[in-house]
């Protein structure tokens, strides 16, 4: 597999998103809790940024992606 890390990341994101949707559909986690999980995850990456850190670009990109997921409502089924 040429881009194994990229494909693994996309697969993990897709699986996590499906799990969040299933938890919401089964009324195990309400939307606000799911958003809270996503915000906590984003904050963890934002908090991992260090002066001169070699992974800062990755952490910023991951936090940005998670915040886009929150804004887009991808992981919760919101009424149209």
Q: In the chain, where are the structural domains located?
A: 4-72
Q: Are 17 and 74 in contact (CB under 8 A)?
A: yes
The model's pTM is: 0.80
Higher pLDDT, 53 or 68: 68
Q: Over the stretch 19-67, which tens digit does the pLDDT of each residue have?
A: 999 999 999 999 999 999 999 999 999 999 987 788 899 999 999 999 9
Q: Are 68 and 37 in contact (CB under 8 A)?
A: no
Q: What is residue 77's predicted lDDT score, i.e. its pLDDT?
A: 66
DSSP 48: T
pLDDT tier, 79 (very low <50, low <70, confident <90, very high otherwise): low
CA distances (Å), 69 to each of 13, 45, 54, 66, 75, in order? 11, 15, 25, 5, 7
Q: Are 69 and 75 in contact (CB under 8 A)?
A: yes
């Amino acid at each position: 597999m040429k881009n194994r890390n990229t494909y693994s990341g996309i697969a993990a994101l897709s699986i996590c998103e499906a799990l969040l949707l299933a938890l919401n559909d089964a009324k195990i986690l309400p939307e606000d809790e799911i958003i809270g999980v996503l915000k906590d995850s984003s904050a963890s990456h934002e908090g991992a940024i260090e002066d001169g850190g070699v992974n800062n670009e990755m952490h910023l990109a991951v936090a940005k992606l998670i915040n886009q997921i929150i804004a887009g409502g991808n992981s919760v089924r919101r009424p149209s």
